Amino acid sequence: MNSLAVCLDGSAPAYHLRPGFGSGAKNWHIRLEGGGWCESSSACATRAKTSHGSSKLMSNQILFNGILSNKYSVNPDFYNWNHVYVRYCDGGSFSADVAVPALYFRGLRIFRAVVKHLQTKGLSTAKQALLSGCSAGGLGVVHRCNEFKYLLPNANVKCLSDAGYFVNGQSIRGNFAMYNYYKGVVNLQKLQNTLARACTSAKDPVQCFFPQQAQGYIRQPTFFVNAAYDNWQLENVKEISWRQYSPCMRFASCFHAKTLQAFRQNLLNGLFYAQSRAGWGTFIDSCFSHCQLEVDIKWTRPRIHGKSLAKAVGDWYFGRSQSTHYIDCGFPTCNPTCVKYPLMSTST
């Protein structure tokens, strides 16, 4: 791979590959790992000493479940595809290309190097290709979708963001915690140089890091999967602790019900653009969850209007349904198919 495509600590990037078979051997699914961000030199230096900053500390094996599963019963539309799980070690949603003393922010180069390396393994002749990611990886999908198509001009390319639609909203404390955090990420990693130029030339680069603005520059069909009550965002965007919002899992009249409903509405307002685009899709369930595609039960069980997440994504990708937008009811307790806490991931 490119010698400049390195993790925060300078170690080589990494991915896990499970080869496809049968009729799926020419189809590829690239999945970007999530894991938050780092907004300061000290935070990134600490991160560089973990598996989210150094490939030297990563596990050699992972589980391929949910949308990565090779079981037809779990994953009927993608079970026999080539599946690649790209490890996340740059702290900037696969978007930066700069180095500072002792740290390397090379997520953009990592993405390019991995895709080009996979092209030597058969990706270059892909018929169908799907780029997906969870959380920070889901945000990476938003920013790398166009480039994925550019690198695979002959494939049918679509993009799928799982829990990557981070809202720029006001917290219950009256501040904009996520904006302030992203401001540190953007400034430290100089993302104004790598985000969509049409956006940064006209708008605040920090705003361009958020999906609300970035989605307007995606040219490929894109599908957003998000829980209307994303528990990571409740804790980090709205700054509500689990102890404060957990009663809402059982009682729609909980103390923070209005706050939660306002968060849901803010999310839906931002997704109005995606819902107006031909070929795009959304699946917004009323679960308290964060990242739903990598766990079998969360991929197959939650339903909106009788349709599972797995079926909705498959129908959208293969164009089997004219309806590609699934919006759940607005009360926290209205969907009995949601997977209950603590199976919900809080990892970004």
Which residues are annotated as catalytic? Answer: 135, 230, 290
Pinpoint the alpha helices (H) of 210-308.
211-214, 231-236, 242-245, 257-275, 296-300
Task: Report the DSSP pairing between strands 82-86 and 15-18.
Answer: antiparallel
Amino acid 321 reads S
Amino acid 41 reads S
* Residues ≥6 apart with Cβ < 8 Å to 19: 25, 82
Both structure tokens of 331: 């009360």
Half-sphere exposure of 136 (CA within 13 A, CB side): 24
Please name every residue paired with 304 in a beta bridge, in sequence order, or none if there are none: 307
- Confirm if 2 and 112 have CB atoms less than 8 A apart: yes
CA distance 196 to 201: 9
**Three-class secondary structure of residue 249 per DSSP:** helix
With vertex at residue 130, the alpha carbon angle to CA 124 and CA 134, rounded to the nearest 5 degrees, is: 130
Within its chain, how far is the Cα of 154 from the centroid? 24
* Residues ≥6 apart with Cβ < 8 Å to 73: none
CA distance 100 to 199: 25
Both structure tokens of 64: 């391929």
